[in-house]
Amino acid sequence: MNALLLLLICSGGYLIAYHTYGRFLAGKIFGLDRNAVVPAKELEDGIDYVPSRKGIIFGHHFTSIAGTGPIVGPAIGIIWGWVPAILWVFFGSILMGAVHDFGALVVSLRNQGKSLSEVASKYINARVRFIFFAVVFLTIMIVIAIFGVVISAVFTTFPSAVVPVWLQIPIAVLLGRAIYRKGYGVVPATAVAVAAMYGTIAIGTWVPVELGTVLGFPATGFWVIVLLIYAWVASTLSVKTLLQPRDYINAWQLFVAMLLLAGGTAVASLTQGLVMVAPAVNSTLPANTPSIWPFMFVIIACGAISGFHSLVASGTTPKQISREPDAHFVGYGSMLLESLLAVLVLICVGAGIGMALDLGDGTRLVGSAAWEHYYGSWIGAKGLADKIAPVVQGAANLMATLGVPAAIGVTVMGVFIASFAGTTLDTAVRLQRYVVSELASDLSFPFMANRWSATTFAVVTAAALAFATGADGTGAMTLWPLFGIANQLLAALALLVVTIYLKRRGGLHYLVTAIPCLFMLLITNWAMVESELNFVAGGNWLLVVIGAVIFALALWMTVEAFIAFLSIPRILKAPAESKATA
């Protein structure tokens, strides 16, 4: 199939979905009210609760949920064929992922910006609060540790990305000061910041930073320590100081990168007849490749639906929304844009790599031979660098049609991946701080409820996981086989909470989340059972134990929620929502 035609069909479909199903959800299902008092104004504190412009909070939310998920997941998932991957990404995002994100955001908005753990306690029962807390804490701890490793691996693989990624921090801080303290216009300040950011990419290409052993730590271990220290500092600052402006300029970085990829797809399609060289449905899967059912649906997560999104949607974002109607644009719209990014990634790995692949020994592969070079064996078992290599190669090929030098193209993608992993790391640490603070308050441990103690606990536990297997800081990768399933199981549980919320509001509105919830519960539990059997067969007892704990907690919460769901018709009046809906 022609790559440009595929891109146009998907892009048009997302626009239609936003203006039809998205508006239906906003108006008929959730009834967004522009006059409602939102948490950012009701509880404004200048640190976490900060009313923000719709465009700025979109940038924060989008870059926080995107991370490397819509890059790595599709890059692996295409091994089953580009047709099933595209179908899952397209329809999954419209009917499940965007509904999941939007629903979690609205429910949190109407409950003082509290996490879904607290909301679950209110709408289901108190026991569920601690079950959800446990699942969320374990998931975020893995996210923090893994994304530290991801960024470290990118720095090691793409040393030209180091300087641009770190220089984004002073650029973001200066942007925040220019807008919030000096009163400069958003448009000119953004233009200067984005231009400066791309200027650093050129500098990084000329001045790559390659590290060996530092203070007795391998390069990856050293970078993990530096990144965790940075995340501690960043997550204790006001969102206006670093979080918002950095996420905002990273969003513009993504917009530019997506435009380059889309432009490259258009030029290559019109001049070279760019087509998908990956098989439509792969009937000759490499050895050890798991079955498409259920594993494609947990491997391709962020481009279709991801549980981590519900943590952002009920964590940092609802504390910054200025008006309820903005939730449509931020919650539903950002998920569709992320899904479009996943489509572009599928085009990179399904068509772009077929344009040319030089092996360095004088051999040049094109077409399906280039695709087979990467996907002739089970890519899911390879290292992170091998997983993102086809994306970078395909993207560089597409950008080359626009006159972007190969070295610059590689740096752009390296910075792109590291930056988005960095924004997710920042947000994840802040979210873990919220989780620890809320739980400490519930248990009357005030010394753990302040932002410094809670953040320290979040960072130290992630560091313990990262360095559990040695000084290289890659300990979290031991749990990588569980990460995708735990993440998607969290999405099912988040949909469960939103379904209970909608059921309490009356009518059949709950079906828009109940149906995706049932699908995700089926898929993730199926994947968990198969994985547990594989872990037992392989003697991976750590994964067996942690997987069993997560599975048991999720099953317990599902039973509690089902009982609450059946009891709702006997409840005369649902619990009152916060003043945000008064």
Nearest to 431 by CA among 31, 147, 82, 41: 147
Burial class (CB in 10 A: 0-12, 13-18, 19+), 360: exposed
Cα distance between the two ends of the chain: 52
Residues written for the chain: 582
For the four alpha carbons of 520, 523, 529 and 535, in that order, the dihedral sign comes to negative
Tell whether the model's pLDDT for residue 367 goes beyond 50: yes
Q: Model confidence at 502, in pLDDT bands (50, 70, 90)?
A: very high
Q: Do 275 and 470 touch, CB atoms closer than 8 A?
A: no
Alpha helices by DSSP H, listed for 273-383, are 292-299, 307-313, 326-327, 334-350, 367-375
- pLDDT above 50: residue 582: no
SS3 357: strand
What is the pLDDT confidence band of residue 259, given thresholds at 50, 70 and 90? Answer: very high
pTM, two decimals, is: 0.91
* pLDDT > 90? residue 249: no
Mean pLDDT rounded to a whole number for the chain: 90
pLDDT of residue 308: 92
Coil, strand or helix at 402: coil
The SS3 of residue 316 is coil
Query: Which band of pLDDT confidence, cut at 50, 70 and 90, is reported for residue 90?
Result: very high
pLDDT beyond 50 at 550 = yes
At 398, the pLDDT band (50, 70, 90 cuts) reads very high
Query: SS3 of 203, please?
Result: helix
Cα–Cα dist 209/207, whole Å? 6
**CATH number of the domain where residue 435 is located:** 1.10.4160.10
Eight-class DSSP state of 364: E
CA distances from 6 to 3, 11, 350, 401, 503 (A): 5, 9, 11, 19, 38
Residue 136 to residue 367: CA distance in whole angstroms:
43
248 neighbors 175 (Cβ within 8 angstroms)? yes
Kindly indicate the confidence band of residue 572, based on its pLDDT and cuts at 50, 70 and 90. very low
Q: What is the mean pLDDT of residues 58-71?
A: 86
Cα radius of gyration (the chain): 23
Determine the Cα–Cα distance for residues 393 and 348; give it in Å rounded to an integer: 8
pLDDT on residue 577: 56
Specify whether the CB–CB gap between 100 and 494 falls below 8 A. Answer: yes
Residue the block writes with tokens 């949909």: 495
Is 434 a residue whose pLDDT tops 70?
A: yes
| pLDDT tens column, 140-167 | 998 898 888 888 888 888 888 899 999 9
Over 80: is that where the pLDDT of 69 sits? no
Looking at the chain, the whole-number percentage of residues with pLDDT higher than 90 is 59
Identify whether the C-beta of residue 491 lies closer than 8 Å to the C-beta of residue 307: yes
CA angle centred on 572, ends 568 and 573, rounded to 5°: 90
CB neighbours of 310 closer than 8 A, spacing ≥ 6? 100, 101, 104, 116, 490, 491, 494
Cβ atoms of residues 379 and 387 within 8 Å: yes
Please provide residue 182's backbone torsions phi and psi, each rounded to the nearest 5 degrees: -95, -15
Q: What is the pLDDT of residue 574?
A: 44
Give tens-digit pLDDT for 450-492.
889 999 999 999 999 999 889 988 888 888 778 889 899 999 9
What lies within 8 Å, CB to CB, of 79 at 6+ separation is 282, 285, 286, 289, 375, 378, 379, 380
Burial per residue of 97-123, b for 16 or more beta-carbon CB atoms within 10 angstroms, e otherwise: bbbbbbbbbbbbbbbbbbbbbbbbbbb
What element of type H or E holds 358?
A: strand 357-358
Band (pLDDT 50/70/90 cuts) for residue 247 is confident
Q: Kindly state the average pLDDT of the residues 230-245.
A: 89
Number of domains the chain contains: 1
pLDDT for the residue 575: 46
Domain span at residue 437 reads 3-581
What was the pLDDT predicted at 149?
86
Residue 569 — very low, low, confident or very high, per pLDDT cuts 50/70/90?
A: low
